[in-house]
A and B are shown apart, each in its own frame.
Chain A
Amino acid sequence: RKEVEQDPGPFNVPEGATVAFNCTYSNSASQSFFWYRQDCRKEPKLLMSVYSSGNEDGRFTAQLNRASQYISLLIRDSKLSDSATYLCVVNRVTSGTYKYIFGTGTRLKVLA
């Protein structure tokens, strides 16, 4: 089982739709969680950190469920420009060293 798992998609949604992605992680000791966005043939860029109480940034809402070990990303009122791959990132602490583990990403296509 992968340490961080995501549905690869693609999720094809019409403009204006609401779409949600989940990401599950296996290490219950993980403490830091992020969503990154990666456009085709570009570098990943931080979209938002995910906090325990959940957090919102405009049309984007991130939630953390520690009991079930998953994080989610909700995008409201989808725009064409939201088309990208969304990477889930979880930290792993080993002998005091922090490492970030990246999921393989969920592809979103927003259709006109």
Chain B
Amino acid sequence: NAGVTQTPKFQVLKTGQSMTLQCAQDMNHNSMYWYRQDPGMGLRLIYYSASEGTTDKGEVPNGYNVSRLNKREFSLRLESAAPSQTSVYFCASSDRQATNYGYTFGSGTRLTVV
């Protein structure tokens, strides 16, 4: 049981380049999330999808777009990368938004923008 799978694990981009971070879960979860983690800032929500077919902005959506391709997959796109987007990105999923079972996270993508 893979849980939440993120690709790639590492990426270096030049300023202005674009890329898509992929996330897939095999737990039949309804809700999926994208977070970024920076030193001293904690995990901050970028975008989330409460259920298939819906997406909403989180705390720090600027510079990002998302696609909930189907129930399993939720991708995050950086259209024009900036050094401020250097971070560790985590995808997560849960059976529903309000849950006592918490989230399951992917192993993360370490992105450096130079």
A: residues with CB less than 8 A from B are 4, 8, 32, 34, 36, 42-46, 49, 87, 89, 91, 97-100, 102-105
> Which residues of the other chain, B, contact A104 by a CB distance below 8 angstroms?
40-42
Within 8 A of A (CB), among B59-97: 90, 97
1/0 contact trace for B15-59 toward A, CB 8 Å? 000000000000000000001000011111100101000001010
Give the CA-CA distance A8 to B41 in the complex, in Å. Answer: 11
The residue on A at minimum CB distance from B99 is A32
Question: A97 is contacted by which of B42, B50, B99, B102 (Cβ under 8 Å)?
Answer: B50
Interface of B is mostly: loop
Contact A102 to B98, CB < 8 A, known contacts A42-B107, A46-B103, A97-B50: no
Judge whether A44 and B107 touch: CB under 8 Å: no
A to B CB contacts below 8 Å, 14 in the list = A8-B40, A32-B100, A43-B106, A44-B90, A44-B105, A46-B101, A87-B42, A97-B56, A97-B97, A98-B98, A99-B58, A100-B45, A102-B35, A104-B42
* Chain B interfacial residues counted at CB < 8 A: 24
Beyond A43-B105, A43-B108, A105-B42, list 13 extra A-B contacts (CB 8 Å).
Answer: A32-B100, A42-B107, A43-B106, A43-B107, A44-B105, A46-B101, A46-B102, A49-B101, A87-B42, A87-B43, A100-B103, A102-B43, A104-B41
> Which residues of the other chain, B, contact A46 by a CB distance below 8 angstroms?
101-104
Give the CA-CA distance A4 to B45 in the complex, in Å. Answer: 14
Judge whether B97 and A89 touch: CB under 8 Å: no
> Which residues of the other chain, A, contact B107 by a CB distance below 8 angstroms?
42-43
> Which residues of the other chain, A, contact B105 by a CB distance below 8 angstroms?
43-45
A-B interface, 4 closest residue pairs, ranked by CB to CB distance from nearest: A46-B102, A43-B105, A102-B43, A104-B42
> Which residues of the other chain, A, contact B98 by a CB distance below 8 angstroms?
32, 91, 98
> Which residues of the other chain, B, contact A100 by a CB distance below 8 angstroms?
45, 103
Give the CA-CA distance A44 to B58 in the complex, in Å. Answer: 19
Q: How far is the CB of A3 from chain B (nearest CB, A)?
A: 10
